[in-house]
Amino acid sequence: MSHNYVVRMQWDVKTPMRDGVDLSSDLYLPDEGGPFPCVLMRTPYSNNNEDLIRKGRRLAGQGFACVIQDVRGRWDSGGEYYPFHQEANDGFDTQEWIGRQTWSNGRIGMAGGSYLGCVQWLSAPLRNQFLTCMAPRVMCNDYFRGLFYPGGAFQLNVAMTWGMRTSAHTAQSIDFHNWTEAFHTLPVRDMIKLNGGNMPFWSDWINHPTDDEYWAGINIERRWSEITVPAFNMGGWYDLYARDSFDNFNGLRLQGGSPEARRSKLIVGPWPHWLSRCTRTGDIDFGAGSLADLETLERRWFDYWLKDDDDGFLDEPPLRLFIMGINQWRDEHEWPLARTEWQRWYLHSNGDANTLRGDGTLSPTEPDDEPADQFVYDPNFPVQTVGGNNCCSPEIVAWGPHDQRPVEMRSDVLCYTSRPFDEDTELTGPIQAVIYAATDAPDTDWTVKLVDVSPTGYAMNLCDGIIRARYRGSFSDPQLLEPGQVYEYSIDVGVTGNVFRKGHAIRIEVSSSNFPRFDRNPNTGDAFGQSIELRSASQTILHSRQYPSHVRLPVIPRQ
């Protein structure tokens, strides 16, 4: 039975950590009865912002105690802020404190997205006795691969903009920077200092460009079996962590440390990092039906695990996906979808796939002995980022779907386009590319993008990926290249759920830069972040019987 509680608030309640540091928690409590289950949110963005206050009051009115806490070193909390590495113990200690309060019934759920999601995951393997469930949104669990070095390339835009915003004890405005100039600063190791910032952890990010012990300490993907609480995950096709949302879902569904953990759920819409806030993402308005009431879904999740109120939410399929192109929601049971028909589509040309006006094609037919395609990658003039899975400042670097034709008119972008489809064709799943390539440099980058081309020519980006050549075999043991030698590169292009409507075509772009989403590879082979020298690289993409470059596409049969 629903009950609307009067809410009482307590500000800046000191919450002790094991090392004597006090963190600041704001409490929103039902003003009668109890004890109550608790929803905990921990944030570096100030617990005194309007969105969190509204949520705290709403939850308390619904019969939950709500604790919203500034993480260590931010806003009203004591100690020194250092991203990610301090959150496991601080989260555990906060949960322990909550569980022993008189207003707490000993059940805690955690909520929030992005950094508010990471604090949930990082504390979960410690198995606090009071933590009962989580509702993490838009976050990865492998910080090397998912955030800082996807494919081995430094994710410059988010690291620099988000890092500078959160480097001070309170918020730092970055709105007056000349970001076009700032992103070009060299060497990368000095970018923050040369642009007026003071970010002590920047040097650690730069000094650990391999998947080493620095990242292993916060890699939760290696600890799924230690997590015994379920998670209701929320993600977006155009979110920075689109692929990671599925990894998190599978991690607990398949490897979770309890039957409860293996009842985790996931919803993914056509959204960027801020999720279901608007029907429009980038250029595209996906319609009113693309919105989901995530707060109500989260409330149903908490009602079940924290109040034993079963309205059937857990009996519904665990995976809910918005399929773009037809703009419809669909329930599924696993990822990748069990009915997927995996198809290899091969790159073809007569040696002139440069630009969308070139002769590059894409088809399921294996290549014959065809001439290779070539281009020059000059890091002084990198291919610009135009939309995509970016974060977290769309006014600086746009996110979502945008017309890729301006990019595709560059001579250093190879375009391989299929024939228009005779009927609607769905691709839903992870996209993988295998590219055979050579360069005259000791190191370089390779990028691949999946694009939906409409009959009008509009080229809508769906997902993309990158590989830094030195990491082709291992992210922990990089190896430079032998110039001129052909190597095989496996590139994670991301995930998508999209129907290519009748008359539309698939396009694959191949290039060597996507800037400033990723830093520019200087093609020198120098240690990462140290170089101020940039050199051009002559690039060759092969597609032949011996070197059949292709993409692996998840085709979903029509029902």
**Domain boundaries of the chain, sorted by first residue:** 7-138+227-332, 145-207, 341-556
pLDDT for res 414: 99
pLDDT for res 211: 98
- Write the pLDDT tens digit of every residue in 398-457: 999 999 999 999 999 999 999 999 999 999 999 999 999 999 999 999 999 999 999 999
Which distant-in-sequence residues (6+ apart) come within 8 Å of 415 by Cβ?
A: 353, 354, 355, 356, 358, 360, 408, 507, 508, 509
Active-site pick, 167, 273, 452, 543: 273
Which distant-in-sequence residues (6+ apart) come within 8 Å of 188 by Cβ?
A: 154, 156, 206, 519, 528, 529, 530
Average of pLDDT values for 540-556? 98
- Write the pLDDT tens digit of every residue in 169-224: 887 788 888 999 999 999 999 999 988 888 889 999 999 999 999 999 999 999 99
- pTM score of the predicted model: 0.97
pLDDT for res 349: 98
Burial call 293-322: b when 16+ CB within 10 Å, e when fewer: ebeebbbbbbbbbbbeeeeebeeeebbbbb
Choose the CATH number for 341-556 among 2.60.120.560, 3.40.50.300, 2.60.120.260, 2.30.30.30: 2.60.120.260
- The percent of residues above 70 in pLDDT, for the chain, comes to 100
DSSP string, 265-307: EEEEES--TT-TT-SEETTEE--GGG---HHHHHHHHHHHHHH
pLDDT for res 2: 61
* Beta carbons of 14 and 78 less than 8 angstroms apart: no
- Write the pLDDT tens digit of every residue in 360-384: 999 999 999 999 999 999 999 999 9
Average of pLDDT values for 471-494? 98
DSSP string, 456-473: T--EEEEEEEEEEGGGSS
DSSP character at residue 56? H
Mean confidence (pLDDT) of the chain: 97
Which distant-in-sequence residues (6+ apart) come within 8 Å of 71 by Cβ?
A: 23, 42, 43, 44, 77, 81, 86, 87, 90, 115, 119
* Beta carbons of 66 and 60 less than 8 angstroms apart: yes
Distances (CA, A) of 159 to 147, 182, 191, 456: 8, 13, 11, 36
Active-site pick, 24, 25, 77, 114: 114
Active-site pick, 26, 93, 211, 239: 239
Res 1 pLDDT > 70: no
pLDDT for res 176: 83
Query: 7-138+227-332 adopts what CATH topology?
Result: Rossmann fold (3.40.50)
Per-residue confidence band for 166, with pLDDT thresholds at 50, 70 and 90? confident
Mark whether 273 is an active-site residue.
Answer: yes
